Structure formats: structure tokens, C-alpha cells
Amino acid sequence: MTTILVGIDLPETDLASGLFAILFAKVTGVGENSNKLGCEVQITFTADRKAHKLVVRHCNLIHNHEPKKQTGKQRKMVKEVDEVTLQDIWQAKERIADSVKKTPLIPLNQGFKGTQSREIFLKLENLQPIGSFKIRGACNAICTIPTEKLKDGVYTASAGNFAQGLAWNAKQLGVPCRVVMPDHAPEAKVKPTLDMGAGVTKVKFDKWWEVVVNRKYEHFKGSFIHPVSESSVIAGNGTIGLEILGDLPSVDTIIVPYGGGGLSSGIAIAAKGLKPNVKVYACEVETAAPLSAALKKGERVKCQYTPSFVDGMGSGEVLEEMWPLVKRVLDGSLVVSLRQVADAIKLLAERNHVIAEGAGAAPVAAALSGAAGEGKIVCVVSGGNIDASKLVPILQGFLPEEEK
């Protein structure tokens, strides 16, 4: 018998109100999914003699099925998929609490263009100290490395935001940090990384992607922290999901920009752990949409990658180690055009006074397109690090490439 913790920590309440636990399981889909999985809801009570009542302390799901025998290949897949748990994410939340902001969740001001059937909310990760959500995963990752290993420093391969996240956390701990960046990385991400004391090496995109895939760079020593598939990074990213469900329990859909899958999968694990029937969609841009292509074919495929002002997302293919996880926890991928992303950046600046980079605005573009359906939709504004040379033409109604 295996206990599956679904994270329903309940406030103290009397026995009658304790029925809320059962209703919660049913309404959120825990009850429905537990029937399919052969589970039952277990509620723990303790006695309060002075108040003459029973107090609800916790609610668990108990899985009653014995696991089926698996082949070696299947065991490897299960290990990859189940590597990050809801409990890992709760632990990450405690670990990074002193270094990371709990960012606000606000409604998108659509003016008269909004619809009564669709409410769009913004999770403003652009307000983190480095202007990006990447500080979460980087903080959790570096805090889980043994002290003796940190003496040799840390390094990563990043297009910019994770580089800043790792550099920021390394500086706080006095740990050497170096970064391999693709040669198209924007100055808005390169300069802050250098200013925080990290060393930056720029390479061609193909070489950079090779470092990402192989998880090493022959010219650096120290602990390599993967910007996407590191379990500690995914768990740190997942804390965003905990905050979204905490602020908006009635959320129907969450849209997350897709770069390598670490952000979207982390949020999905957290959100679906708390509310199994919530939809979590990845969002990709038309110039680099490997997940959409893979989901359509049912397997990883190579696709065309064209650099654009949306520099924080996209690649030529889905990472092999991430594919089993993302295809299981995500509900699909929504692809948007560069024009839609530019319009979303402009709308966010004009309506909500929010500066978002391309990847951060992409989920808003997807929500506005109607592709995610109706209901309460949360768009993760993943970052706000965009070069002024790109932002200015966008605010004037042009695409940056049109100004060249």
C-alpha cells in the first residue's frame, strides 16, 4: 500500500465542517481521479476534549493497487517522470522563502475587449529581483549542493535568465559562477549576469545546445546545474504553482511559456497535485515549437529553430530526458505568432504598466487568442528582461526585425 500525499493541509475545524475535506476532494477532482486510480480519501482527526469536538488535521489519498511489473525501459521512464513530487516542491518553497519573492497575481486589464466568460490573470514573475522566475530554481538547486562541492563553483548553459538567477544566488553565497550563453543572448541578460560577478562565455547556438544536452562544458570545472531538467530546478519552479493555487483556488487553466519544459512541468506537478482537474498548457512561438510538433507525432522530432526577439523560449527539439515528463503532465501546447507576442507586450505595457519580455508575454497572447478556452486563466509572465532596442519598436506597433 502506497500513500500519495496530495497536499491538502486543512485548517482546524469541527467534525461538521470537516465534511469540507470530502467535498474538496470531489469538487477539485481528487475524488473523481481517486476512483479511477483505485484510491480512497483518508481524513485524519484528533480529539479536542475541551471543545467536545473532533479536529481535522490532514487529508491523504491511499492507493490500494499493487504496482505492475515493469521492464527496464519502463522503470527508467517512471524514474524520470516521478523524479519531482509535490512534497519536493513544498520543501523547495521553504528552502527558497528568504531569497525569492511571492509575486502578485493580478487581473489583466483588457479594457472593453474582455469577455465575461474569460478572465485572464497575470502571475508577475518579472518582479523577481533578477526580473525572472529563474531565481527560484537556481536558488533551490544551489542550496541542495553539498558545501564542499561549492568550493569549485557552479556553472550552467543559459540564454540569460537562468544565468542571472544562478549568478545572483552564487553571489549571495560567495560561490564562483560561470555561464555558457548562445551568441544571440540579449544584452539585457548578459550585462546583469556580468555585473553580478559571473563569467560569461558566448558560443554558437549549436554548441550551446550541445552543452545543454550533454550537461557539461569541457573548459569549465565545478558543479553543472542544468537550467531545465535538474530535479531541484523543476521543484523550485513548481513553487509558482503553489502560489497560483493559493491565491486563486478556482483557476481553470494555467498557461506557461515553454523553453525546455522545466517551468511548465514544475508548475503542472504542483497545480495538478493540489487540483487535478486544472489545465496546464505550454506556450510556444511559431519560430520554435518542438513540443507542439512532438505532441502531434507522439514522439520527439527535430524542427526548425529561428532566433527572434522571443529569445527566452524555443529550441530545435524537446530534451530527451524531459519528454516523458512533459507529455504526461501538460495538457498540450499553444503556438502563437511573433505578431501576437508583440501585441501582447504592447497591451501589457499600456493596460497594466507591465514590462514583459517575449517569453513572458507569449502566454497572454495565447489566452487572448481563445486557444485556451474560457474560464479563469492564469498567464505566467515569466520575465521582463527585454532590450530597449526591441521594446521601443514593439511599443510603436512594429516587430523588432522590421526595424533592421
- pLDDT tens for 257-286 read 999 999 999 999 999 999 999 999 999 999
Percent of the chain with pLDDT over 90: 70
Q: Are residues 201 and 291 in the same domain?
A: no
Q: Are residues 117 and 266 in the same domain?
A: yes
Is 278 inside a domain boundary? Answer: yes
CB 162 within 8 A of CB 138: yes
Phi, psi of 377 (to 5 degrees): -115, 125
* pLDDT of the residue at 374: 96
Query: Burial of 77 by CB count in 10 Å (0-12 exposed, 13-18 middle, 19+ buried)?
Result: middle
Contacts 24+ apart (CB under 8 A), 397-400: 397/346, 398/342, 399/309, 399/338, 399/339, 399/342, 400/309
Domain that holds residue 26: 2-67
Banded pLDDT at 112 (limits 50, 70, 90): low
Banded pLDDT at 312 (limits 50, 70, 90): confident
Residue range 290-311: average pLDDT?
A: 94
Q: Are residues 257 and 186 in the same domain?
A: no
- Check pLDDT > 80 for residue 174: yes
Residue 386, Cα to own-chain centre: how many angstroms? 19
Q: Which of 67, 102, 119 is the last residue of a domain?
A: 67
Is 75 inside a domain boundary? Answer: no
- Check residues 120 and 41 and name the one with the higher pLDDT: 120
Banded pLDDT at 171 (limits 50, 70, 90): very high
- Check residues 145 and 189 and name the one with the higher pLDDT: 145
Is 74 inside a domain boundary? Answer: no
Q: Are residues 167 and 283 in the same domain?
A: no
Residues 86, 88, 91, 92: is their CA dihedral positive or negative? negative
Is 73 inside a domain boundary? Answer: no
Is 76 inside a domain boundary? Answer: no
Q: Are residues 288 and 340 in the same domain?
A: yes
- Check pLDDT > 80 for residue 45: no
Q: Are residues 173 and 301 in the same domain?
A: no
Q: Which of 224, 255, 286 is the last residue of a domain?
A: 224
**The pTM is what?**
0.78
* pLDDT of the residue at 311: 86
Q: Are residues 111 and 139 in the same domain?
A: no
Q: Are residues 301 and 397 in the same domain?
A: yes
Banded pLDDT at 188 (limits 50, 70, 90): confident
Per the structure, the count of domains in the chain is 3
Q: Are residues 93 and 118 in the same domain?
A: yes
**In angstroms, rounded to a whole number, what is the distance separating the alpha carbons of residues 176 and 153?**
4
CB 163 within 8 A of CB 181: yes
Q: Are residues 260 and 342 in the same domain?
A: yes
CB 48 within 8 A of CB 2: no
pLDDT in tens, 214-247: 999 999 999 999 999 999 999 999 999 999 999 9
**In angstroms, rounded to a whole number, what is the distance separating the alpha carbons of residues 25 and 352?**
36
Q: Are residues 202 and 100 in the same domain?
A: no
Q: Which of 179, 207, 224 is the last residue of a domain?
A: 224
* pLDDT of the residue at 114: 59
CATH of the domain at 114: 3.40.50.1100
Is 254 inside a domain boundary? Answer: yes
* pLDDT of the residue at 381: 99
